[in-house]
Amino acid sequence: MNETALTVHQTARPHGFPTAGHFAFVESALPGPAAGSALVENLYWSVDPYHREMMDDVPGGFVLGAPLEGRTIGRVIASRTPRLAEGEIVFHRQGWRTHAVVTPEEIRQLPRFDKVPLTAYLSALGGTGLTAYVGLTRIARLQEGEDLFVSAAAGGVGTATGRFARLLGAGRLVGSAGSAAKAAHLTREVGYDAVFDYHDGPAADLLGKAAPGGIDVFVDNVGGDQLAAAVGALREYGRIVRVGTISQYNTPDAPPPRFNYADIVEKSLRMEGFLVSNYRDLQEELYEFAVPQLQSGRLALDETVVDGFEHIVDAFLGMLRGENTGKIIVRDRTQAHA
């Protein structure tokens, strides 16, 4: 067992796109668990778009010079509580570090399902999958046969949304992505009917060609021009599910999207955003929906795995640049052949 621990701290607030210089790796002695807690050796880390928002000076954001937080899966290696056994695999939110001291209240014990890898608890069965599931079933209230447009369709939430929508009986699935290669992957592997590269022209024109008959639901991970295009393409009683605004995380001064506000009234449209943290009570329902599909092979995992905790900052910055397909996960090197 390593006698030292590494944590990642944020050292400064970014103005625009963050760089590796905004972070520092800090080495310390291995922490010891106090009575009632346990020491966890982290094995898998999630880096997510919301971490970029937390880098800014916002309520609940990252504190400069302190260990950062994030979704993580680890193994209990020392315990001083009967509620956490050594060797147990747990989920917690003290990420961006190799080791964490946790209490039983701070962890979630993971059920182990046959043929389901641990990474699934950070992708299709984790916050990413729960976001997609809540967006489709609770916010959009997707009905069988309805047509869907998903922005940032090659990301973690975008791939999960596409696969879940297909399982829920959606009609035509249209997406946007940042390259022709990603668009081809989404149509070939994920189940999208049409995907456009948003660099290829005005979003309204591209969406009009991909969905000439219009759409019923827009799952928005991006904001900006694609949101405006979707308002125009939505049919009567259409719904917009606001998940994120990644197009503006690094360009906070960008003008808001311009669209015809009369469409909201005349087409009886509904736009609703949500925080997945308010829907954690649906975790078991997500398992019931997704686990049998994973076990049968009808649902595949879309993951980009980066080996080595020392690459966690690179993985995060790469995700912001759109270098991943599906959910990006950092894996401890000991798990590469586990």
pLDDT in tens, 193-248: 999 999 999 999 999 999 999 999 999 999 999 999 999 999 999 999 999 876 55
Burial string for 64-79 (b: 16+ CB within 10 Å, else e) reads eeebbbbbbbbbbbbb
DSSP string, 114-144: TT--GGGGGTTTSHHHHHHHHIIIIIS---T
Q: Which pLDDT value is given to residue 244?
A: 84
DSSP string, 248-288: HHS-TTSPPP---THHHHHTT-EEEE--GGGGGGGHHHHHH
- Residue 8 amino acid letter: V
Rounded CA-CA distance 147/286 in Å is 22
Helices (H) and strands (E) counted in the chain, each on its own, are 10, 15
Q: Which pLDDT value is given to residue 256?
A: 75
* Higher local confidence (pLDDT), 218 or 260: 218
What is the enclosing helix (H) or strand (E) of 235? strand 234-242
Q: Which pLDDT value is given to residue 6?
A: 97
Q: Nearest 5 degrees, angle CA 106-CA 108-CA 109?
A: 130
Rounded CA-CA distance 281/296 in Å is 25
Q: Which residues pair with 40 in a beta bridge?
A: 76, 100
The rounded percent of the chain whose pLDDT value lies above 90 is 90
pLDDT in tens, 124-150: 999 999 999 999 999 999 999 999 999
**In 3D, which of 217, 98, 97, 195 has the Cα closest to residue 146?**
217
State the pLDDT confidence band at 4, using cuts at 50, 70 and 90: very high
Provide the Cα torsion 253, 254, 255, 259; round to 10°. Answer: -150
Q: Which pLDDT value is given to residue 46?
A: 97
Q: Which pLDDT value is given to residue 323?
A: 92
pLDDT in tens, 16-25: 899 999 999 9
Average pLDDT over residues 265-272: 97
Structural contact between residues 200 and 229, judged by C-beta atoms closer than 8 angstroms: no
Structural contact between residues 332 and 309, judged by C-beta atoms closer than 8 angstroms: yes
* Residue 315 predicted with pLDDT over 90: yes
* Higher local confidence (pLDDT), 49 or 296: 296
The rounded percent of the chain whose pLDDT value lies above 70 is 96
Rounded CA-CA distance 160/148 in Å is 13
Q: Nearest 5 degrees, angle CA 114-CA 37-CA 127?
A: 45
Take residue 81 and report the two structure tokens written for it. 């509580």
- Residue 312 amino acid letter: I
Take residue 186 and report the two structure tokens written for it. 């989404």
Q: Which residue has the tokens 């994920």?
A: 190
State the pLDDT confidence band at 309, using cuts at 50, 70 and 90: very high
Average pLDDT over residues 59-82: 96
Q: What's the mean per-residue pLDDT of the chain?
A: 95
* Residue 249 predicted with pLDDT over 80: no
* Residue 98 predicted with pLDDT over 80: yes
Q: Which pLDDT value is given to residue 246?
A: 66
**In 3D, which of 71, 113, 111 has the Cα closest to residue 94?**
71
Average pLDDT over residues 286-302: 98
Q: Nearest 5 degrees, angle CA 137-CA 120-CA 126?
A: 45
Q: Which residue has the tokens 């970029």?
A: 52
Q: Which pLDDT value is given to residue 259?
A: 83
Average pLDDT over residues 176-187: 97
Give residues with Cβ within 8 angstroms of 253, minimum separation 6: none
**In 3D, which of 312, 304, 335 has the Cα closest to residue 96?**
312
pLDDT in tens, 99-121: 999 999 999 999 999 999 999 99
* Residue 86 predicted with pLDDT over 70: yes
pTM comes to: 0.93
Q: Which pLDDT value is given to residue 190?
A: 97
**In 3D, which of 207, 220, 96 has the Cα closest to residue 161?**
220
Take residue 49 and report the two structure tokens written for it. 């778009």
Q: Which pLDDT value is given to residue 248?
A: 58
Structural contact between residues 129 and 123, judged by C-beta atoms closer than 8 angstroms: yes
